[in-house]
Amino acid sequence: MTSASRRVTQRDIARLAGVSQATVSLVLNNRSDADVRIAPETRERVLQAIADTGYVADPVARRLASRFNRIIGVFTYEPAFPSGTRDFYHPFLLGIEEYAERVGCDLLLFTSAPVVDGRRRVFHQDNRLRLADGCILLGREIDGTELRRLNADGFPYVAVGRRDDAGGPVPYVGADYAEAVGQLVRMSLAHGHRRLAYLSVGLDAESSADRYRGFQEHAAGAESARHIPGTGQEPDTLLDDLHADRATVVFVEDFAYAVALELAARRRGLAVPGDLSIVTLGDPTVAVPSDVAFTGFHIPREEMGRQAVRMLADLVDGGATGVHQRLLPCEPVEGETLGPPNPAVDRS
């Protein structure tokens, strides 16, 4: 039997009844395909497994069952399967797969898109977008011209991450980065920090802009709240810069750079926290080995994937109205790299 800690799915029913998931779907919807006859005893096994587990079909799945292909497209603007074990996309895809299974949909990953000007494109000569009922878009930066075309074509889609560059409303499920960073700023001020620094990777992407906006809005009471653009300089050079600025806490958007900065500080004999607090603003985008528990927050990536499919299913079904945009709270991580500044250090 399946664990009581999670929702029973059609896959669970299929396994218990010894049939395919497609057969379970046909039984649930009280129909047979023209080429498939379901034996009475097979139907009875499926119905018994449903009764034994208390399975309840998702209402969205019922609405989609008779009118659509039940295929959800997934398009990623960067490669979806890098070799790193801590792949940033992986939790998103887990959430997408989980909810697609719940509503009885298959996933179609669009992999044939060519790279144009250094970026993959949804629209190209041989695009197969219309094979799917709708599409989930994943990427740090999503092309605004393609969003505008999707809007103009009326093709159902949902972006994972807040988007505002399509000349009209973009349906999205994102993370509330502004509030997550704001909470970290408030914690820093409560610890006694008055000179803050923010190290970005650029402010073009909405996710970066939201993080920095949260920093600006909540650091208004600080003596100094400096923005340092990019992460191109060496960590030791940045440490010199922070020392000259008398900064006691630095907010780092790039997790890998935070790891490098902490190592550089340790080589100098600096205490983290104490001499310098380091706060990270999200999860690693690439595998970065570190035994340090950084203070920061986790992005609700799996839930963003689930909610994106749920929103897309509502849009495909046509029962949803209004603007569809949702920001999910991030999970704070207490960590060990934020603490009161060392009062014994001369910062004059």
Interacting residues of 140 by C-beta distance below 8 A, sequence separation 6+: 77, 78, 161, 205, 207
Q: Which CATH number fits domain 71-175+301-330: 3.10.450.50, 1.10.579.10, 3.40.50.2000, 3.40.50.2300?
A: 3.40.50.2300
**What percent of the chain stands above pLDDT 70?**
84
Task: State the pLDDT at residue 85.
Answer: 42
Each domain of the chain, given as residue ranges in start order, spans 10-57, 71-175+301-330, 177-298
Pick the range with the lowest mean pLDDT from 32-41, 93-102, 268-277. Answer: 32-41
Task: State the pLDDT at residue 293.
Answer: 94
Task: Give the per-residue SS3 of 74-132.
Answer: EEECCCCCCCCCCCCHHHHHHHHHHHHHHCCCEEEECCCCCEECCEECCCCCCCCHHHC
Same fold: 10-57 with 71-175+301-330: no
Using the 8-state DSSP alphabet, how is residue 341 labeled?
Answer: -
Q: For the residues 118-123, what does the mean pLDDT come to?
A: 74
The model's pLDDT over 190-235, given as tens digits with 9 standing for 90+, comes to: 999 999 999 998 767 889 999 999 999 999 889 999 998 876 789 9
Fold observed for domain 10-57:
434 Repressor (Amino-terminal Domain) (1.10.260)
Q: Which of the two residues, 124 and 34, has the higher pLDDT score?
A: 124
The model's pLDDT over 128-163, given as tens digits with 9 standing for 90+, comes to: 777 888 999 988 778 788 888 888 888 899 999 998
Q: What share of the chain is helix, strand, coil (3-state, %, to 5)?
A: 40, 15, 45
Q: For the residues 313-337, what does the mean pLDDT come to?
A: 85
Fold observed for domain 177-298:
Rossmann fold (3.40.50)
pTM for the model: 0.77
**Would you state the structure tokens that stand for residue 166, as one six-digit string?**
């399509």
Q: Which of the two residues, 103 and 97, has the higher pLDDT score?
A: 97
Interacting residues of 150 by C-beta distance below 8 A, sequence separation 6+: 122, 157, 166
Question: Going by DSSP bridges, is the β-strand pair 119-120/115-116 parallel, antiparallel, or unpaired?
Answer: antiparallel
Q: What is the mean pLDDT of the chain?
A: 83
pLDDT at 56 over 70: no
Element (H, E) at 65: helix 59-65
Is 129:122 a contact under the CB 8 Å cutoff? Answer: yes
